[in-house]
Amino acid sequence: MKTHTLGIIMNGVTGRMGTHQHYQRSLLPLIEQGGLQLRDNERVLPHLLLVGRNSAKLERLAAGHGHVRWTTDLDAALQNPDYPVYFDAQTTGRRAEAVLRAIAAGKHVYCEKPVATNTAIACELYQRAQQAGIKHGVVQDKLWLPGLRKLERLIRLGFFGRILSVRGEFGYWVFDGEVIPTQRPSWNYRKEDDGGIIVDMLCHWRYVLDNLFGPVEAVSCLGTTHIPQRRDESGRPYACTADDAAYATFELANGVIAHFNSSWCVRVRRDDLLTLQVDGTHGSAVAGLRDCVVQHTSTTPRPVWNPDLPNPIPFFDTWTPVPDYAPAENAFKAQWELFLRHVMLDEPFPWNLLEGAKGVQLAEKGLESWARRTWVEVPPLAPSP
C-alpha cells in the first residue's frame, strides 16, 4: 500500500480544544491507526509539528508520541516545505493574523471558530485564501455529533413533515473558582480577551441552522453577565466583562423559528449538555450529543390542562429512541478526515472560510441586536474571491 506523509502545523495545540479534541482525539488516533485510507491501495499519514508559546507544555504534549516535533517559532514552521497544512486553535484574537501568515506562505488552512473577531476580517481571510488558491476549512464539529446526524437523517426521510420550530438548550454550570475550581479558561469571560458566549456559540448555531434547517435571515438576541466575578487559573479574582449567557431567536428563510438558550450559568436538568427539539407537522424529535428520540403524530398524547389533578401522562415514556445504524466516531476526527481527503484527493469540502465568516457575522448581528434591543436582519454574505 502506498503511504503519503502529510505534514501538519498545529498552532495553539496547548489550549483546551487544541489538546483534547484535535491532537489527542483526532490526529493522534489517526496516526495510531496507521493513517487515513484514501483508496484501496493508498493512505495518508499525518506528520505533526506542534507550535505554541509555552515550550514546557509543548514538550509534555509531544513526549511519548513517537516522532511528534514541536517549536515556538511559527515563522520557521511556516517556511518549512515539509508541512503544507496549517491548523489554528489559538484564542480568537490571535487567529486571523496567524492564518493570514499561513496563507501568504502557501499553506492549506484548517482552523477553529470563530475565525476572526469581526466579519470584515473573516471575509478577508476567505478572499486571501481564494486568491492564493489554497484549500481551506473551518471546524464545524457539531454537524458530526451522532445525535445531530440522526436528526439530519430524519429530515432527509421526511419524518417531520413541515418543520415548524427548533428549540436549543445548551450549557452547564461553570464554577466561579471560589470553592470548586472552574472548568473553563478565564479569558472566555473577559471581553478584552475576545471572550463571551455570543461570540462563541452563535458561530455554532449558524452552521447548525444553515446546514440542517435553513438559512438564517434575522436574529433577536439578549446577552447578559450573570456572574460578575470569577477566579482565574491562579486563583486570583477578576471582573467578568463578557456575556456568560445568551437568549437568541432566529428567523430562517423557510419560515422556521429557532430559539437557542446558551448559558454557562445553568444547571442541567435535561438529557444532555446540548439538546435540540425539532417540531413538525408530522412528528417531533429531541436530539442530544449522541442520542435522539422521536414522537410521531400517531403516537402523540392528547393532554388536557387541569392543574387540580396530578398529570396522568408519563411524557418521557411516549418517545421512541432512534437506533444507531453505524458506529459513532469523534465529531472532530470525522471532520478532520474529510478535510484531509479534500487536501489529498480534492474531494468537496463546503465548510470553508466563507462558512466561518457567516458564523462571525451572526455573532456580530447578535451583539448588535442586544445593544439595540431589536430584531436585526442577517443579509447574505458572499464576498467576491
Q: Is residue 384 part of a domain?
A: no
How confident is the model at residue 384, as a pLDDT? 60
Residues 137 and 148 reside in one and the same domain: no
How many structural domains compose the chain?
2
How confident is the model at residue 16, as a pLDDT? 87
How confident is the model at residue 201, as a pLDDT? 97
Beta bridge partners of 375: none
How confident is the model at residue 385, as a pLDDT? 53
H-helix or E-strand spanning residue 73 = none
pLDDT digits (tens, 9 = 90+) for 136-152: 999 999 999 999 999 99
How confident is the model at residue 227, as a pLDDT? 98
Preceding omega of 383 cis (within 30 degrees of 0):
no
Residues 39 and 131 reside in one and the same domain: yes
pLDDT digits (tens, 9 = 90+) for 340-354: 999 999 999 999 999
Is the pLDDT at 383 greater than 70? The verdict is no
Residues 165 and 244 reside in one and the same domain: yes
Residue 305 pLDDT class (50, 70, 90 cuts): very high
Residue 382 pLDDT class (50, 70, 90 cuts): confident
Residues 135 and 265 reside in one and the same domain: no
Return mean pLDDT, the chain: 96
Is the pLDDT at 160 greater than 80? The verdict is yes
Pairing of strands 274-280, 257-263: unpaired
Q: Is residue 205 part of a domain?
A: yes
pLDDT digits (tens, 9 = 90+) for 161-191: 999 999 999 999 999 999 999 999 999 999 9
User: 463571551: which residue's cell?
Assistant: 196
Sign of the Cα torsion 321, 327, 332, 338 reads negative
Residues 168 and 181 reside in one and the same domain: yes
Which CATH number is 117's domain given?
3.40.50.720
Residues 346 and 322 reside in one and the same domain: no
pLDDT digits (tens, 9 = 90+) for 34-55: 999 999 899 999 999 999 999 9
Q: Which range of residues forms the domain containing residue 118?
A: 2-141+331-352
Contacts of residue 323, Cβ cutoff 8 Å, sequence gap at least 6: none
Q: How many CB atoms lie within 10 A of CB 241?
A: 14
Q: Is residue 203 part of a domain?
A: yes
Residues 346 and 368 reside in one and the same domain: no
pLDDT digits (tens, 9 = 90+) for 78-119: 999 999 999 999 999 999 999 999 999 999 999 999 999 999
Residues 242 and 366 reside in one and the same domain: yes
Residues 252 and 154 reside in one and the same domain: yes
Beta strand spans in the chain (E): 2-11, 36-39, 42-51, 69-71, 85-88, 108-111, 136-138, 163-171, 216-224, 229-231, 237-239, 245-252, 257-263, 274-280, 283-287, 292-296, 320-321, 376-377
- Identify the DSSP state of 249: E
Residues 193 and 264 reside in one and the same domain: yes
Residues 169 and 309 reside in one and the same domain: yes
